Amino acid sequence: MAELDKNIIGGLIIIALVLSGVSITWMFTEEKTVLERDGEVLGIHRWHVEAERTYINKNSWYRTNTMCPKIIEMGGRETATRCYYPSDYYEMLSRSIKRTNLVEEDFIVTRNTPQYAYGTRGAYAGILDEVFTFKETEKEIDFPTKYEVDWTPKDTRNYKLVWRVWDVKDMNLKDGNYYDCSYTFGNLKIDLKNNCDKLDRAEVKDDRIWFYFVPERGEQTFDLTFVDPPSSWCYQETANETSVCGGLDTGTYLCSGLWAVDCNNSYDGNWTTAGWGLTTNQGYLEVNYTKPVGAKDSSLWQVNPGDNNLSIPTECWDYDSDTLVLRAHSSDASNNDFFECHNSTGWQILQEGSTGYIAEEAMWWDITDSIVGCGCPGADTNWIINLSTPCITNETCDIGTGILSFNDTGSWYCNDTITVTDIVYPSTDQNIVIESTCNLKITG
């Protein structure tokens, strides 16, 4: 049974959920947000706002003799009265922590952070609003149920928003720039969802990831996911592409009916595009997911519109032992949209809406024993797979002259092309599970 609790100590707001013996804790201050699992920090984050700088007036000794030479050194230029910054140049605004408003009401935490404007004596460039909505839930991925961000400037200049996430406990990316919209770091899930087209880049260095968004004028809004999903859960964006945690690529998509806007928009992995049926007709998208090894009927279907995680009824889960059969359809004439699953007698409605479009879908698999990715050691390296935790190889791996062997007891799931010079065959309690796309090549 889930237990939702809150505690306010001075300027610190704590929201906690205890679920099946696991404690998930959110801690809010005026300056930052911390997410913990069983007392360990999974990640810390806060937002910054950068303003576009165009020029300064050379109306003081300091500006003329100190600031302007630095701007020129950065690639700027000067005239008799002004010094111009390089094009596309941004500087971070100062935040007013003292005047930040942090409140909680009915498990909704709101933080309003003023940002000071350049060249003024304490005037605000705008307010950055964050809203975290918490509800009692049996699903860790719905805690919080919603995280919304809004930047409202007071002028018309370009502003660039930066979401800084650091102290990521299970950072699994090398330093560099990334352009994906969804990231999973152990027990931390970050998803930009419908805001994917706003991302300029994500910079990874050591245990931090900073998201830089495309500069815009006017109000900017974000609906984001920053959650602690259960460690046994595996996210699969596309039915016919593998995911390293165990999702299989043997699923299919089938479009039928009449579509006014391309059916592919409904499953292209872009949560900002959508497809819909032609006027007076329905456009149908049938999705067949191959169930991963160990997947349970508590798995969830994430759908948009609504960005909801839909439970799968037992009668639909049991319809086929290997395949989960799902369907979405819509029409722009009647402004309806349906998400359904197939049971032994037909289609069962899971969600009915009135948007008239289908934007995207994905699966959250609840996988028994937390089957994880095995990784690949690289060329000419002996590979010893520890079976104490079941793992799956979902990527091509060529270890050249290396030898594959196993220790401990358990199962290894092969689901891609594995090339080795030799293999030490497993003992009685060591299992090799050959999936549909496994190709184990022994070259020695």
Is residue 110 domain-shared with residue 256, that is, in the same domain?
no
Both 329 and 346 in one domain: the answer is yes
* Cα separation, 261 vs 259, whole angstroms: 5
Same domain? 245 vs 295: yes
**Which pLDDT tens digit goes with each residue over 413-427?**
887 789 999 999 888
Residue 117 clears pLDDT 60, i.e. is over it? yes
Based on the fold, state whether residues 183 and 40 are members of the same structural domain: yes
Question: Are residues 64 and 187 located together in one domain of the fold?
Answer: no
* Domain final residue pick, 366, 386, 406: 366
Judged against a pLDDT cut of 80, whether residue 232 lies above it is answered with no
pLDDT surpasses 90 at 129: yes
Q: What is the pTM of this model?
A: 0.61
The angle formed by the CA atoms of residues 65, 70 and 72, to the nearest 5 degrees, is 100
pLDDT at 425: 84
What does the pLDDT read at residue 216?
A: 94
Same domain, 251 and 298: yes
**Could you tell me the pLDDT band of residue 312, with boundaries at 50, 70 and 90?**
very high
Same domain, yes or no: 269 and 402: no
* Final residue of a structural domain among 298, 332, 366: 366
3-state secondary structure of 233: strand
Amino acid 280: pLDDT: 76
Compute the average pLDDT of residues 339-365: 93
Domain that holds residue 74: 54-88
CATH of the domain at 127: 2.70.98
Q: Is the pLDDT of residue 368 over 60?
A: no
Instruction: Select from 227, 255, 273 the last residue of a domain.
Output: 227
Map residue 185 onto helix, strand or coil. strand
Q: What is the pLDDT of residue 392?
A: 79
Q: Which residues of 60-98 are buried (b: 16+ CB within 10 A; e: fewer)?
A: eeeebeeebeebeeeebebeeeebbbeeebbeebebeee
Cα 61 from Cα 43, distance rounded (Å): 45
Same domain membership, residue 254 and residue 352: yes
Confidence of residue 372 (pLDDT cuts 50, 70, 90): low
Tokens at residue 397, please? 């791996």
Question: How many structural domains is the chain composed of?
Answer: 4
Point out the least confidently predicted range of 84-93, 164-173, 205-214, 371-380.
371-380
- pLDDT higher at 275 or 137: 275
pLDDT band (50, 70, 90) for residue 390: confident
* Candidate from 6-15, 40-49, 255-264, 327-336 with smallest mean pLDDT: 327-336
Is residue 251 scored above 90 in pLDDT? yes
Asked if residue 192 and residue 117 are part of one domain, the reply reads yes
Say yes or no: 141 and 261 in one domain: no
Residues 10 and 144 in one domain: yes
Residues 71 and 108 in one domain: no
Q: Is the pLDDT of residue 195 over 70?
A: yes
> Considering the chain, what is the average pLDDT of its residues?
88
